[in-house]
């Protein structure tokens, strides 16, 4: 029996998990869910109700995207995505913390009217500038070989770039742009973005029509 991955195609956390699983060559049953109508089983496995959630055949539940990446890489990590984790972790932490916060405010600026969208964009740009500096000397964030950090971070930068594509195309981050385009065009990403119909949960035994 394959492990089950509850997923949502456009979720950046789910993207990083799906990419790590593909890279590690682990086949999973992807269950595409609606965030507005979550299946009972995902909530039974992980009451916090976020995707991605990986359920292993022995019932073990892994319900944080970075833990799913870690689990996948512990099974198989052919290119050493976990090297220099001491350098990678602060970047990933900043991505998931202050950058994600700025991204949400920039993307949904109408819901955060305290500041104009440009202010939130400027907050996010602090992280973009850090990435640009790293990418100016290397193809990827930790050198010339793809790393867990690239895969963990780029789905969020992709979202940021799409809020105002014209602004991003003219922005002061050329190395970041070519890094992003390379990852978006990669087989690893396109393969992980395959479309699945929404997973339909079978009815609870008690609710079944006779
Ligand atoms: N820290 C979690 C965050 C996951 C997360 O927030 N996912 C979003 C979708 S992108 C979600 O499921 N939100 C719940 C909802 O919208 O109901 C992780 O890394 O897995």
Mean pLDDT over the full length of the chain: 96
Nearest CA to ligand 1 atom 6: 50
Q: pLDDT by residue (tens digit) across 109-122?
A: 999 999 999 999 99
Res. 209: pLDDT tops 50 = no
Give the Cα separation of 72 and 146 in Å (integer). Answer: 16
Atom of ligand 1 nearest to the CA of 66: 19
What is the arithmetic mean of pLDDT over 144-155?
A: 98
Atom of ligand 1 nearest to the CA of 49: 14
Res. 156: pLDDT tops 60 = yes
Report the percent of the chain where pLDDT is more than 70.
Answer: 97
Give the Cα separation of 148 and 91 in Å (integer). Answer: 11
What is the arithmetic mean of pLDDT over 151-179?
A: 98
Q: Could you give all domains of the chain from N- to C-terminal order, each with its CATH number?
A: 4-78 (3.40.30.10), 85-186 (1.20.1050.10)
In the Cβ-directed half-sphere of 6, how many Cα atoms lie within 13 Å? 26
Give the Cα separation of 17 and 92 in Å (integer). Answer: 14
What is the arithmetic mean of pLDDT over 41-48?
A: 97
The DSSP bridge partners found for residue 176 are none
Distances (CA, A) of 96 to 43, 44, 92, 129, 144: 23, 26, 6, 16, 23
Give the pLDDT band (50/70/90) at residue 203: confident
> What ranges in 37-186 are assigned the alpha helix state H?
40-45, 65-75, 85-94, 100-107, 117-137, 148-163, 165-169, 174-184
What is the arithmetic mean of pLDDT over 29-46?
A: 97
What is the arithmetic mean of pLDDT over 62-79?
A: 98
Res. 198: pLDDT tops 60 = yes
Compute the distance from residue 18 Cα to the ligand 1 centre, in Å: 14
Q: pLDDT by residue (tens digit) across 54-69?
A: 999 999 999 999 999 9
Nearest CA to ligand 1 atom 2: 64
Report the percent of the chain where pLDDT is more than 90.
Answer: 95
Calculate Rg over the CA atoms of the chain. Answer: 18
Closest CA to 147 of 70, 67, 88: 88
Q: Which two tokens stand for residue 207?
A: 């609710």
User: CB within 6 Å of ligand 1 — which residues?
Assistant: 8, 11, 13, 35, 49-52, 64-66
Question: How long a stretch of residues is the chain?
Answer: 210
Q: Which two tokens stand for residue 6?
A: 């509850």
Res. 153: pLDDT tops 60 = yes
* Predicted local confidence at residue 202, as pLDDT: 86
* Predicted local confidence at residue 210, as pLDDT: 37
> For a substitution probing ligand 1, which of 8, 46, 50 has the most ligand atoms within 8 Å of its CB?
50
Closest CA to 20 of 179, 135, 149, 158: 149
Atom of ligand 1 nearest to the CA of 50: 12
Yes or no: say if 159 and 183 are a contact pair by the CB < 8 Å rule. Answer: no
Q: Which two tokens stand for residue 83?
A: 């090297």
Nearest CA to ligand 1 atom 11: 50
Compute the distance from residue 50 Cα to the ligand 1 centre, in Å: 4
């Amino acid at each position: 029996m394959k492990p089950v991955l509850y997923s949502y195609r456009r979720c950046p956390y789910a993207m990083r998990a799906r990419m790590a699983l593909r890279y590690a060559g682990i086949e999973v049953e992807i269950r595409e869910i609606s965030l507005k109508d979550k299946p009972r089983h995902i909530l039974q496995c992980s009451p916090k109700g976020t995707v991605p959630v990986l359920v292993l055949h022995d019932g073990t539940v892994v319900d944080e995207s970075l833990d799913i990446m870690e689990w996948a890489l512990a099974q198989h990590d052919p290119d050493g995505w976990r090297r220099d984790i001491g350098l990678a972790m602060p970047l990933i932490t900043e991505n998931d913390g202050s950058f994600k916060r700025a991204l949400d405010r920039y993307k949904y600026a109408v819901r955060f009217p305290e500041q104009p969208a440009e202010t939130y964009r400027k907050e996010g740009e602090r992280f973009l500038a850090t990435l640009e500096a790293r990418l100016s000397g290397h193809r990827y964030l930790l050198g010339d070989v793809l790393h867990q950090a690239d895969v963990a971070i780029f789905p969020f930068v992709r979202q940021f770039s799409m809020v105002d594509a014209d602004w991003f195309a003219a922005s002061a981050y050329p190395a970041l742009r070519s890094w992003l385009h390379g990852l978006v065009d990669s087989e690893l990403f396109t393969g992980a973005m395959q479309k699945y119909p929404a997973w339909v949960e079978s009815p609870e035994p008690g609710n079944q029509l006779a």
